[in-house]
Amino acid sequence: MHTTPPPLPQQRPDLLNPPPEYARWREERPLARITLWGDNQPWLVTRHEDARLVLGDPRFSSENFRPGFPGLQPTTPPRTPGQLFAIDPPDHTRLRRMLIPEFSFRRVEQLRPAIRKLTDELLDGLAVQPQPADLVEHFTLPLPLLVICELLGVPSRDREFIHEQAAAFATVSKGPEAMRAGWAALFGYLRELLDAKARRPGDDLMSKLATDRVATGEADPAEAAGVLVQLLIAGHETTASMLSLGAVALLRHPDQLAALRADDALVPAAVEELLRHLSVVHIGLRRIATEDVEVGGVTIRAGEGVVIALQAANRDPEVFGHPDELDLTRDAGRHLAFGHGLHHCLGQSLARAELQIALPALFHRFPRLRLTGPAAEDLAFEGRAVHGVRELPVAW
């Protein structure tokens, strides 16, 4: 008798922990079939070792238009220029190479003073708000959005429009048409802005793309605009969620928060542990096999999809002792929160810098910060590709 595989687990026991099925499946059947929609039944990868193998193996493709790809919706998305997360080499290599200098560790270190300035300005603004105030509205969302807008050369006055369209694209539950509409709105906006930068360039990434890449024929305007859409969405959605959930995690673990406040040298390790512990990309990374590949003793056939559960891999006890505990002193450097392999997150140095600056600044500025109002679980996103909260009432 044929049994339909279970769906991808989505129901969390609380805001900070992944669905309990992941731990059980990682122990009992680390590679198992799940059902996404209809007859799309990819393999789910839950072990850290297997996740690294799949993400690092070029025989697993990211091209989401391939038949059988385990996408977010039961329709095949159109081929959209510049979608780095959905293309393979050589185009992926060519486009990514254009951006690496702007997201290098050295470049991000140069941006730290600007990030600190924005952080201080936002905390000044938060301090004069009536209490309770929404931490998302006044701090955790605007900071990464302002940073990525400044880096790309996007006017900060347009940030509300940008966030609305990015949120539409990231909300899976609204369906494919709404998601495409969000992407299309951002694409059209950035295509026009790219043309304006070509005429009057400034000192920003978009101007460099327009003058150094598009004008020379290395990239066409549509590709450049597509790349910019992805950078704009990825550059603020995940970091905003990490800032919000990181604040909740520290407030719920006062011993860990006290250790962080007492020792600034702990900050880098603390950020890595929060990235591991929270794993905000909670719908998994998606791939499809282009050849037969053995993973964890199971042969994944060409044309079969794979979902890599980062939140399961990052809680693997074979790699992280007592993985469900938040321990800011642990060595969490092997986490996969930014992925692995060719498609590892281009902006990871920028995200780290923002988290390393913003979280300590928040708790130093507001030593009595506390959550108020509804339970944070009641404010969690529903149907979003990135786990987080819509709002976060706090007082101090």
Residue 282's pLDDT is 87
Residue 2's pLDDT is 60
Judged against a pLDDT cut of 90, whether residue 71 lies above it is answered with: no
Judged against a pLDDT cut of 80, whether residue 137 lies above it is answered with: yes
| Domain layout of the chain by residue ranges | 21-395
pLDDT band at 173 (very low <50, low <70, confident <90, very high): low
SS3 14: strand
Tokens of 345: 């997150």
Any idea what DSSP says for residue 281? B
pLDDT band at 116 (very low <50, low <70, confident <90, very high): very high
Judged against a pLDDT cut of 60, whether residue 1 lies above it is answered with: no
Most confident of 143-147, 192-196, 356-360, 388-392: 356-360
- Region 200-222: what's the mean pLDDT? 91
Neighbours of 31 (CB within 10 A): 20
Residue 73 sits at the vertex; the CA angle it makes with 67 and 77, to the nearest 5 degrees, is 55
- Region 3-31: what's the mean pLDDT? 92
What is the residue type of 334?
A: R
CB 81 within 8 A of CB 68: no
What is the residue type of 208?
A: K
- What are 20-65's pLDDT values in tens digits? 999 999 999 999 999 998 889 999 999 999 999 999 999 999 999 8
Query: For 21-395, which CATH class?
Result: mainly alpha
Q: How many helices (H) and strands (E) does the chain have?
A: 15, 10
- What are 72-82's pLDDT values in tens digits? 777 766 677 88
- What are 313-323's pLDDT values in tens digits? 999 999 999 99
pLDDT, greater one: 373 or 307 = 307
- State the angle between helix axes of 237-252 and 159-170 in degrees (0 to 180), rounded to the nearest 10: 80
Residue 130's pLDDT is 97
Residue 19's pLDDT is 94
Please choose, from the candidates 1, 113, 46, the residue with its C-alpha nearest in 3D space to the C-alpha of residue 357: 113
CB 215 within 8 A of CB 194: no
- What are 355-385's pLDDT values in tens digits? 999 999 999 999 999 999 777 788 888 778 8
- pTM recorded for the entire structure: 0.94
Distance of alpha carbon 62 from the chain centroid: 16
Neighbours of 274 (CB within 10 A): 27
Q: Which of 220-229, 252-261, 263-272, 335-344 has the lowest mean pLDDT?
A: 220-229
Long-range contacts of 344-349 (CB under 8 A, 24+ apart): 344/55, 345/234, 346/84, 346/96, 346/99, 346/100, 346/103, 346/231, 347/103, 347/231, 347/234, 347/235, 349/103, 349/104, 349/105, 349/108
Residue 77's pLDDT is 67
Secondary structure string (H, E, C) spanning 303-336: CCEEEECHHHHCCCCCCCCCCCCCCCCCCCCCCC
Residue 27 sits at the vertex; the CA angle it makes with 249 and 69, to the nearest 5 degrees, is 85
Judged against a pLDDT cut of 60, whether residue 87 lies above it is answered with: yes
Q: Which residues contact 124 (CB under 8 A, 6 or more apart)?
A: none
Q: Which of 21-35, 225-239, 281-295 has the lowest mean pLDDT?
A: 225-239
Q: What are the angstrom distances between the C-alpha of 268 and each of 125, 149, 272, 330, 351?
A: 26, 25, 7, 11, 12
Share of the chain above pLDDT 90, in %: 71
Average pLDDT, the chain: 92
Judged against a pLDDT cut of 60, whether residue 283 lies above it is answered with: yes
CA atoms within 13 A on the CB side of 218: 15
